[in-house]
A and B are shown apart, each in its own frame.
Chain A
């Protein structure tokens, strides 16, 4: 008797527990869609801003999180109507060694040290978290065109906050190429990095004065992709050999780097009249007050990015060649003379003995 009573008591206890968790365990997408499936479902913030709470089920079902339940991310929703809903924390799943197999790795850790991560930590409410760039209910793989962080969509995603820079970029050589559908043109992240975006003033930033030439070299250097488009790939090597490049190697950050002359978000081709490197504008570009204020049009005349070892450089090539032959022949001559002199001395010394 007592055994039966014990079993009943146990079952009743189990029932109580499961009853307590009933809302959670069966809170499926269908249930949420009762409200969030309505296109005009919204809330009004204290500031008066109207925020849509509509979630398009058809889109959600195609995202990388299609198999996830709403509450897998919105873990703080336990009752209807919801109270005190917090922003979703992606790191609940995307951390090293997570059991659900969510992608993780170094990239995810870099964010905390990036300018955005630091701002978030410092309490800036405007600073972006994961879903500001990757999307909330519309996270697609980056190689899909509808992804917020697909190559062609990155500039507009970043542009949601950095709108002026986005406008400048759209007009630049890189931006117009992107609009024209060029698959190699750099977007924001090509230069700035992704999760590791740093302030340009910081020395470990990809766009800091000390590193920007390396970043540009990824495309404009000897192995750069620009060769495909008939753009010269000796731009960064000639820079490294110039006085500016040498000075930079000697840790002098006052000298010009790529961006000093070419600009950064507004890089334009030489033929563009608005370009800082258009022949008409070069005197002003060289003559910046902090660079060569005495620079005249005469000073700025002549090729930049010249390579003395290439025959295209004209007189410079012949001077460089001439000195090479002169140096080799003079030194070979002197060296032979010294050897002969030493041989003679040795012979005389032997004869004396």
Chain B
């Protein structure tokens, strides 16, 4: 029995030594070809770089062919300073507004032109009848009313809103700018007028919307709660709503779409409504006076800062 155990112990020792060797061998085989692995990794890295280079070349060629202007812009692209023109609050107002307005136009215009086939298609086939479409129109109306109230709150209580509202008020300078622009268009002047934060065009857009909101919401409420009002007020409201609706729609489709979509500078769309930013070039080009103000304020700050540092430095000494 004892021999047996001894034998088995011997066997065990052998087995252990064998296993140990085996493990060490494996470890060695893993550790040894370190150089080869590095080569492989390098090779993969090389292939990757080459591939991405080729893909980039192909992509650039395609972009150059499709849109030479974009390609040039890309080449000229150097990280530039951006200016936050519109804050998140203002952009949110704009977004809610255009969503509401699109809903209102889609459900409203067919009722102005009911004889057209597309009107019937929109109201009857798309919306499933007048009861649905008028409900959707009222949803849009609530959206627009919220924007109106929100904006009034914004220009009353927000510092930025208040500042922008005062800058929006038309001044004699705007009339001068308008005529200067016309002279520039007719080639009588080498350059157009220089604008501040809001050009006369932007002021026109803003006040057009302001007027439109007052008319549309006012007349809309009269029609919504027609039972509270005399019939002639309803008639006036309906006429004004219908006519101003058309005017606003045409102004948006012709004027606003030209400025933010079809204009060669921004085609197919300006993204300012989304990020609210202008780069330095755009700032210099479209709002040179505001740009100058910002730069001046910054340099003044820097000088003041330097002075302060110099003051404190001399004080210490």
B1-44 residues at the A interface, CB under 8 angstroms: none
Of A302, A316, A331, which is within 8 A of B239 by CB? A316
CA distance A301 to B238 in the complex (A): 16
| Interface pair B129/A251, CB less than 8 Å apart | yes
B-facing residues in A318-345 (Cβ within 8 Å): 319-320, 323-324, 326-327, 330-331, 334-335, 338, 340-341, 343-345
Considering the complex, give the chain B residue whose CB is closest to the CB of A338: B258
C-beta contact mask, B102-126 vs A, less than 8 Å → 1, else 0?
0000000011001100011001100
Contact A251 B231 (CB under 8 A): no
How distant is A297 from chain B, measured CB to nearest CB, in Å? Answer: 9
Task: Name the interface residues of A154-198: CB closer than 8 Å to any CB of B.
Answer: none
Given contacts A246-B111, A340-B182, contact A302 B232 (CB under 8 A): yes
Chain B residues with CB below 8 A from A249, complex form? 114-115, 120
B54 on the A face (CB < 8 A): no
On whether A302 and B230 interact (CB within 8 A), knowing A250-B130, A319-B236, A323-B243, the answer reads yes
User: Which of B70-78, B140-148, B246-254, B269-277 lies at the interface?
Assistant: B246-254
CA distance A243 to B130 in the complex (A): 11
**Scoring B residues 243 to 269 as 1 if CB is less than 8 Å from chain A, else 0, what string do you get?**
110110011001100100000100000
Given that A252-B129, A344-B184 are contacting pairs, would A330 and B251 also be in contact in the complex, using a CB cutoff of 8 Å? Answer: yes
C-alpha gap A319/B264 in the complex (Å): 38
Q: Is the CB of B130 within 8 A of A247?
A: yes
B188–chain A nearest beta-carbon distance, Å = 12
List residues 230-271 of chain A with CB under 8 A from any CB of chain B.
243, 245-247, 249-252, 254
B contact patch SS? helix
Q: In chain A, what residue has the closest Cβ to B227?
A: A294
Chain A residues, CB < 8 A from B120: 249-251
* Chain B, residue nearest A296 (CB): B227
Q: A249-B120, A316-B236, A327-B243 are in contact. Are A303 and B231 (CB under 8 A)?
A: yes
Tell me whether A120 is interfacial, beta carbon within 8 Å: no
CB proximity to A under 8 Å, residues B197-239: 226-232, 234-236, 238-239
A345-B124 in contact given A250-B129, A302-B232, A324-B243 (Cβ < 8 Å): no
Cβ-closest chain A residue relative to B184: A344
A144 at interface (Cβ–Cβ under 8 A)? no
B185 within 8 A of A: yes
A308 an interface residue at 8 Å Cβ cutoff?
A: yes
A338 touches B254 (CB 8 A): yes
Given A327-B250, A331-B250; A301-B115 close (CB under 8 Å) = no
A79 to B255, CA, bound (A): 92
Complex contacts, A35 vs chain B, CB 8 Å: none
What's the Cα separation between A331 and B249 when bound, in Å? 11
Given the known A-B contacts A246-B114, A252-B131, A331-B251, are A301 and B232 also in contact in the complex, defined by CB atoms under 8 Å?
yes
A314's nearest neighbour on chain B, judged by CB, is: B232
Cβ of A304 within 8 Å of any chain B Cβ, yes or no, is yes
Question: Is B240 in the interface zone, CB < 8 Å from A?
Answer: yes
Closest CB in chain B relative to A305 CB, distance in Å:
11
CA distance A253 to B231 in the complex (A): 22
A-B contact pairs, 12 of them (CB 8 A): A245-B114, A250-B123, A250-B129, A254-B131, A292-B226, A299-B226, A299-B229, A301-B230, A326-B247, A327-B250, A331-B250, A331-B251
Q: Which residues of B contact A (CB under 8 A)?
A: 110-111, 114-115, 119-120, 123-124, 129-131, 133, 182, 184-187, 226-232, 234-236, 238-240, 243-244, 246-247, 250-251, 254-255, 258, 264
The 10 A-B residue pairs with the shortest CB-CB distance in the complex, in nearest-first order: A302-B231, A323-B243, A302-B232, A294-B227, A340-B185, A252-B130, A327-B247, A334-B255, A246-B114, A249-B114
Beyond contacts A250-B130, A251-B124, A338-B258: 6 other A-B pairs, Cβ-Cβ < 8 A, are A249-B115, A250-B119, A292-B226, A320-B239, A330-B247, A344-B187
